[in-house]
Structure formats: structure tokens, C-alpha cells
Amino acid sequence: MKTTVRIGLEVACDEPPPRLREARAVGLLCNQASVDAQFTHAADRLHRLLGPRLAALFGPQHGLWSTEQDNMVETAHARHPRLGIPVHSLYSETRTPTPAMLAGLDLFVVDLQDVGTRVYTYVWTVVNCLRACAARGIPVLVLERPNPLGGEITEGAPLDLAFRSFVGGAAIPMRHGLTIGELAEFCNREFGIGAELESVPLQGHDRAMLWPETGRTWVPPSPNLPRFEGALVYPGQVLLEGTNLSEGRGTTTPFEQFGAPWLDPHALLDAAAERALEPAFRGVTLRPVHFEPTFQKHAGRACGGLFLHVTDAATFRSLRTTTTLLRLIRTLWPDEFAWLPPPYEYETVKLPIDILSGSTRLRAYVDGGASSDAPEPFLAD
């Protein structure tokens, strides 16, 4: 299968860097999307290269095989059925590798597909691994993968560090424009972690590329992003996790569609058609839908809502689109719409919407109503 971009996994296995060649015991952080162009899993590629020197696997949220579909469902530790090595869950009673998990390792390899949005937890798992490895003097090797949203466009103001959480650990925008290796390097430097960190770079990659331009096949990096189109709307639509609106979990196209039992899609579409709101809906067409989630919010109940069809990725800005829709919904259905209370992703005090958006400003703006002339600093890019 011909591809435009070679990923770090392929480069490292074909041309092993010295750290990888010389390591005696390697740990690998990966999941089911950690595959090469022939869909061979990273654990199998590295086992071919290293043999018994591949000593342990580590899995992020949703587990090594992405079997845990919903949010905030922890994954058990296990043993790889073929390789016979331990699989340590980093979304369990711990989100940081323990000394026992790292015992004996002299290299920690990361091969995870990020989706270019600050709240995606994989990068914060990587940062936790950097801290744990730095404490034990274990070098970290990141195998680069493309940012599906490219590296030229950002959306949102940097996170207010007072709202740091497992869905945002650094002062970066919501759509951040960085690869997972660049994020690891930024956090290692910004927080003075001091990990011995190296990345295996992409080959044939350009920062302007969105995922379809990389020539790679989309393998879902987590269960609720089965399509690239979901990742494209995710920087804004993930905010719905902080509301009583269904973000489409329990359907086949989560984040691309949303709604609630009390929402009239045509009334919302009419409100969105106001000429003054046109900039918020550039590059996207909104289609009325009805759906019934099989799990999570409003499970088993018919919901009215909208489907977001991105028609021009260059001009579409998911964060502005979703924020505008939230303001309209808050105005049209003030008694039905609500912000969800904690807990959310291990935060038990702050509201989910605040740690998702990175401050209280977005919530205050939405609560101001559709006629509010409040500034939009959280949309700065």
C-alpha cells in the first residue's frame, strides 16, 4: 500500500536509532491504532525487531484495544495473549506508570495517534510517562504520527492553568497544531520535567497536510472517532460532553451529530440561518437529524439535533461553530439546556465545561444568550 507520509514506527523499524538498537528492555505505550501502512501493530513490528527485549506494553484511555467505549471507564491490567508480556493500563487505579511497571526497562517508546485537540487524554498520559521515566532515568523515544488537523491552524485561547486537568495539562489552544512528539517536547521543556526525550520524525510530511492528504488510512484512534470527519469537528463538539446534550455517543457518528429529546432541529437551524451568524458557519452545512443513542446521555430516547457536514476544511472553525450553537440552544431552550456537574475525568470540583474549555469564559459567554455582545477571548487564535 503506497503512502505519502512515513510514520515514526516505520522509520524506526526500518532504520533503528541507536537507543532502540541498544536497548535491553523496552516498554511500549500504544493502542489498537498503532499500526503501520500494512496494518501491522506496533507491538508486532517491535517484537520482530527486538524479540524478548520488548518487555512490556502500556495502554491509554479506552485500553490497548480500545474496547472501553464510554468515557470514565477504567481498563484492567492484562497480559498480551501472544507475546506473553504484561499490558499495564494507564487508565486504571493509576494514570502514571508506577515504579513496579517500569522496573527493568531501559527505554520507553511511545506510539500513539493524537487527534490535534487539547482535551484528548493521550498526550497527558504521555506527559505522565515523561515524569515517571525522568524520575527513574529511563529515556523516552516518541514515534511521530501526523496531526490529523494539520499544523498551520489553531483554535482557542491557551488553557488557563487554574483549570489544568487530565483533559488539559498545558497552556495550549484547543486545536493546537502540534504532533504528539512536539507536544511531548513542549511539556518536557515547559514544566522542567527533564526527561531524556527523542523523537523519530515523519518523512514526506508537510505541516499544511490534513489527514486525507497524508495518504494514510484512518484507523480509529479511540472508539468514538471512527471517521476523520469526527476528528475535524471534535475541537468544538467535544464541549458537548460538559452539557446535557448528546454528543452522539451511542450512535455511529459521534461528535458529527448532536441533539436532545427536547431539541427541535428546524427551530435551531432557522436561528442559525441569521445573517449575522454567518461567520460562525463558514465551511459547514448543518442538516436536521433525529437519532436514538444506544448508551450514555438520552440512551433509548429519540433526539432531535443537527449533523455537521464540513464542506470546506480550510475555512471551517469547529470551536466557533459549536460555541455559537450552544449560545443559540441556551437562548431557545433556557429551561431544558444545562451544564453538567462534576465528576468528569477525575475532576470532582470544577464544572466539566470549564476544564474542557480551559476557563470559565466560554460558559459565561454562552450563558449571556444569543444577543450578548460579550467578547470572545476563548476563541482567539
CATH 3.40.50.150 correct for 228-379? no
Query: How much is the pLDDT for 355?
Result: 98
Query: Which position has the grid cell 455559537?
Result: 324
Locate 92 and state its grid cell: 486504571
Q: What is the pLDDT of residue 275?
A: 87
Burial of residue 201 (number of CB atoms within 10 Å: 0-12, 13-18, 19+): middle
Question: pLDDT 10s per residue in the chain (381 long)?
Answer: 455 899 999 999 999 999 999 999 999 999 999 999 999 999 999 999 999 999 999 999 998 998 887 777 899 999 999 999 999 999 999 999 999 999 999 999 999 999 999 999 999 999 999 999 999 999 999 999 999 999 999 999 999 999 999 999 999 999 999 999 999 999 999 999 999 999 999 999 999 999 999 999 999 999 999 999 999 999 999 999 999 999 999 999 999 999 999 999 999 999 999 988 999 999 999 999 999 999 999 999 999 999 999 999 999 999 999 999 999 999 999 999 999 999 999 999 999 999 999 999 999 999 995 455 544 555 654
- The three grid cell numbers given for residue 184, joined into one nine-digit string: 511531548
Distance, CA of 40 to CA of 152 (rounded, Å): 30
What pLDDT is stored for residue 377 in this prediction? Answer: 54
Q: Are 269 and 281 a contacting pair, CB within 8 Å?
A: no
Query: What string of H, E and C letters represents the secondary structure of the chain?
Result: CCCCCECHHHHHHHCCCHHHHHCCCEEEECCCCCECCCCCEHHHHHHHHHHHHEEEEEECCCCCCCCCCCCCCCCCCEECCCCCCEEEECCCCCCCCCHHHHCCCCEEEECCCCCCECCCCHHHHHHHHHHHHHHHCCCEEEECCCCCCCCCCCECCCCCHHHCECCECCCCCCECCCCHHHHHHHHHHHCCCCCCEEEECCECCCCCCCHHHHCCCCCCCCCCCCCHHHHHHHHHHHHHHHECCECCCCCCCECCEEEECCCCHHHHHHHHCCHHHHHHHCCEEEEEEEECCCCCCCCCCCEEEEEEEECCCCCCCHHHHHHHHHHHHHHHCCCCCCECCCCECCECCCCHHHHHHCCCHHHHHHHCCCCCCCCCHHHCC
Report the length, in residues, of the chain.
381
Distance between CA 59 and CA 84 in Å, rounded?
15
Specify the DSSP class assigned to residue 249. T
Centroid of chain to Cα 161: 19
Long-range contacts of 49-54 (CB under 8 A, 24+ apart): 49/13, 49/16, 49/20, 50/20, 50/23, 50/26, 53/23, 53/24, 53/25, 53/26, 54/26, 54/28, 54/83, 54/85
The answer to whether the CB of 77 falls within 8 A of the CB of 63 is no
Question: Within 10 Å of residue 98's Cβ, how many Cβ atoms?
Answer: 12
* Phi, psi for 237 (deg, rounded to 5): -65, -25
Q: What is the CATH superfamily name and number for domain 8-214? A: Uncharacterised protein PF07075, DUF1343 (3.40.50.12170)
Instruction: Let me know the angle formed at the C-alpha of 379 by 268 and 321, rounded to the nearest 5 degrees.
Output: 25
C-alpha triplet 42, 21, 187: angle, nearest 5°: 65
Distance between CA atoms of residues 96 and 55, nearest Å: 18
Q: Which pTM does this prediction carry?
A: 0.95
Q: Where are the domains of the chain?
A: 8-214, 228-379
Is residue 79 classed as helix, strand or coil in its secondary structure?
strand
pLDDT of res. 2: 52
The pLDDT value given to residue 68? 84
Instruction: Report the distance separating Cα 69 and Cα 89, nearest Å.
Output: 15
Asked if the domains 8-214 and 228-379 are classified in one and the same CATH topology, the answer is: no
Whether 245 contacts 236, CB under 8 Å: no
- The pLDDT score that the predictor gives to residue 372 is 52
Q: Give the HSE-up count for residue 278: Cα atoms under 13 Å, Cβ half-sphere.
A: 2
